A = this chain, B = another copy of it.
Amino acid sequence: MNLVTILDYSGVAVFAATGALSASRKQMDIISFMFLAGVTGVGGGTFRDLVLDVPVFWIANHDYILVCAAVAVLVFFTAHRVESRYKLLLWLDAIGLAAFAVMGAAKGLAVTGSPVVAIIMGMLTATFGGILRDVLAGEQSVLLRPEVYVSAALMGAGVYTLGDLAGFAPLICQLGGFIAAFAVRGGAIRFG
């Protein structure tokens, strides 16, 4: 299991958790927890794959769906114990954002070979799930909060893509992209 696989499942799991936390804030039932967890967890990647015209990743591999469902059940039974569900949601969202910025850029680069498309795909993959979650849960869109949401995604996708172009090893590019995105977004949450 390499870093890309870990980033991939981690991103899906933490975004699923943010979807479930949103469901929890709105006091939905457990099936709606799963639904919102699933949409948030795989939404960004689904859109990425449709635009790149490659098979949607969770059709061939159901593990992603099962991860979302398991995370939703876990959050359903534990979320009321968390002191600030919103704060937890923001931090998990930051991890997912960083993981998906790298994953999206990597897939965009692999499929098209174009750095511009790679960076756009990183941004879209990283932001789309959270946008869908906020629209569906009737929350104020994450785009409207005074935090550098899209900038963090751009930073992660950009560092990954430029690192790859510069010939760095994949692991370095992935780690660099993840850390860059998380640092920008985390800094904004902590100090913004």
Contact = CB atoms under 8 A, between A and B. Distances in A.
Interface of A: 26, 28-29, 31-32, 34-36, 38, 46, 50-53, 55-56, 59, 62, 65-66, 112, 114, 116-117, 120, 123, 127, 131, 135-138, 140-141, 143-144, 148-151, 154
B56 A149 contact: no
A120 B50 contact: no
A74 to B, nearest CB: 18
A64 to B, nearest CB: 10
Contacts of A148: 29, 31
* Dominant SS among interface residues on chain A: helix
A59 B161 CA distance: 16
Nearest to A140: B138
A149 B29 CA distance: 10
A191 to B, nearest CB: 15
A152 B32 CA distance: 11
Contacts of A151: 29, 31-32
Given A136-B143, A148-B29, A151-B31, A59 B55 contact: no
A136 B140 contact: no
Contact of A31 (B52, B138, B150): B150
A41 B55 CA distance: 25
